[in-house]
Each structure stands twice: as C-alpha cells, then as structure tokens.
Structure 1
Amino acid sequence: MSDMQITEKPLPFVRLAALSETVGTQPEVAAVVGPLFDRVEDALRASGAAPGLPIAEYDMDRHGVRITVGFTYDGPAVDDVVIVELPAVEAAFATTHHGAMATIDDSWRALNEAITARGAEARGACREVYLQSESEDQTDWITELQQPIAGD
C-alpha cells in the first residue's frame, strides 16, 4: 500500500437518495452495505429515476457505525428512500482503492496512518465514493476513500 497517492482536498456538498442503518460493530458493515444500495437503486428505478454516483458514508460513535448509502440525485422525493445532504467539508484526506472490498480495510488503514503522520486528526464521518463499481467480482472497482480532518 506504500504506493498509494494520498491528497488533501475539500469535499463538495452532495445530495443523495439514500437509506441508513446502524450496526453495532465495524465487521457487521459489509453485510449491510450491498443490500442497502440494492434497495435504494430499486426505489429510484421504480420511480423512473436513474441512480447517480454511488456513495457510502460511515459515522462511527460509541453506539456503533451509522451507515448511509445512496446515489447522487437531484430530483424530487422518491418513495421508500430519504434525501440526505452530505455537507461540504473544508479539508479531507483522500486516496483511491483499486479492487475488491475485501481488501479495502488495508487502504483505510494506510489513509489513517498518513493522516496521523502528517499531524492531522480524522474528524467526522468518512465517505466512500464508488467511481467504478459495476463488475460482480469487484476486481476492477475504483473507490475513493475520503476522511475529513482537523488540525494542520
């Protein structure tokens, strides 16, 4: 993972058609994300809307992990999903994960180590933006990992 490009950048405001669920522990996340995306996509398609870019937000606290998944969307309300607005963030560290979700924890670990090494502090919910995520086997997936930061 040492060849990962890690950049500091602002994150834009994003409006999603989404669903959320809270799980007790991080290992439970994987079993929830895919089915939530499927439910949101089904609701959008049933309404005649095309899903935009898939994005997941993970907000960890003492109660567990709040997972919000959805697709960028600028249309009217849709039955069975909620409109979620992810705020713009002044500063975040980002990197790109290539390949299957099975190894994404390694990329997150490298990103968090880089944040610490640069004297910053992870602050707030992190995001995964699925830039390419069509194949079933996930070998060609491209996911941007985004972690808001505080500090210099």
Structure 2
Amino acid sequence: MSAMQITEKPLPYVRLAALTETVASQPEVAAVVGPLFDQVADVLRDAGAAPGLPVPEYDMNKHGVRITVGFVYDGPAIDGIVIVELPAVEAAFTATHLGTMETIDDSWDAVNQAITAQGATAEGACREVYLQSESEDQADWITELQQPVTRS
C-alpha cells in the first residue's frame, strides 16, 4: 500500500437529503450505511430527484455512533427524508482512500495519527465523500475522508 497523502484544508458547507440512525458501537456501522443510502436514494428517485454525491457523517457520542447518510441535494424538502446541513469547517484533515470499505479503518487510523502528530485535535463529526462509488466490488472506489480539527 502506498503512503497516503494527508492534507489540511477547510471544508465547504454541504446540504444533504438524508436519514440518521444511531448504533451502539463502531462494528455495527457497516451494516447500517448501505441500507440507509438505498433508502434515501429510493425516496429521491421516487420524487423525481437525482441523488448527488453520497456523503455519510459519523458522530461518536455517549450513545454510540450517530450516522447521517445522504446525498448532496439542493431541491425542496421531500417526505420520508430530512434535509441536513453540514456546516463549513475552518480546518479539517483529509485523505483519499482508494478501494474497498474493508480497509477504510486503516486509512482513518492514518488520518488520526497525522492529526495527533501535527498537534491538532479531532473536533466534531467526521465525513466521508464517495467521489466514485458505482462498482459493486468497490475495487475502484475513491473516498475522501474528512475530519474537522482544532488547534490549541
């Protein structure tokens, strides 16, 4: 595996057509994300809207992991899904994960190690932006990992 390039940059405001669910622990996340994406996509298509880029947001809290799964969307509200606004972020560490979701934890570990090594602190929910995610086997997927940070 080649060394991952991790950069620090601001994140733009993102508006999603989404659904949210909370799971008790990290291992449960994978089983929830795919079906939630399918649900949101179905509602959008039934309403005649085209799903934009898929973006999940993960927020760890005392209840577990709150997962918000959605597609970039600038249309009107639609029954069955919610509009979620992810605020612009002044600073985030980002990296590009190539390939399947099976190895994405390794990429997140590299991002978190870089944050610590550079004296920053992860702040708030992290995001993944699926820049390319059409193939079933995920071999050619391109995912941008985004973790907002603060510096003391």
Same fold (TM over 0.5): yes
Match of 1:35 in 2: 35
What TM-score results when the alignment is normalised by the length of structure 2? 0.98
Superposition misfits of 4+ residues, deviation over 4 angstroms: none
In the alignment, is residue 9 of structure 1 matched against residue 19 of structure 2?
no
> Partner letter of residue 101 of structure 1?
M
Match of 1:112 in 2: 112
What TM-score results when the alignment is normalised by the length of structure 1? 0.98
Shift of 1:48: 0.2
In the alignment, is residue 49 of structure 1 matched against residue 52 of structure 2?
no
Match of 1:70 in 2: 70
Match of 2:84 in 1: 84
Shift of 1:2: 6.0
> Partner letter of residue 110 of structure 2?
A
Q: Secondary structure at the match of 1:74?
A: coil
* Cα distance in 1, alignment partners of residues 19 and 9 from structure 2: 27
**What CA RMSD, in Å, does the superposition of the two structures yield over aligned residues?**
0.9
In the alignment, is residue 150 of structure 1 matched against residue 140 of structure 2?
no
In the alignment, is residue 24 of structure 1 matched against residue 8 of structure 2?
no
Give the number of aligned pairs. 152
The alignment-based identity, stated in percent, is 78
* Cα distance in 2, alignment partners of residues 96 and 78 from structure 1: 32
Q: Secondary structure at the match of 1:134?
A: coil
Structure 2: any 5+ residue segments left out of the alignment? none
> Partner letter of residue 140 of structure 2?
D
> Partner letter of residue 31 of structure 1?
A
Shift of 1:78: 1.0
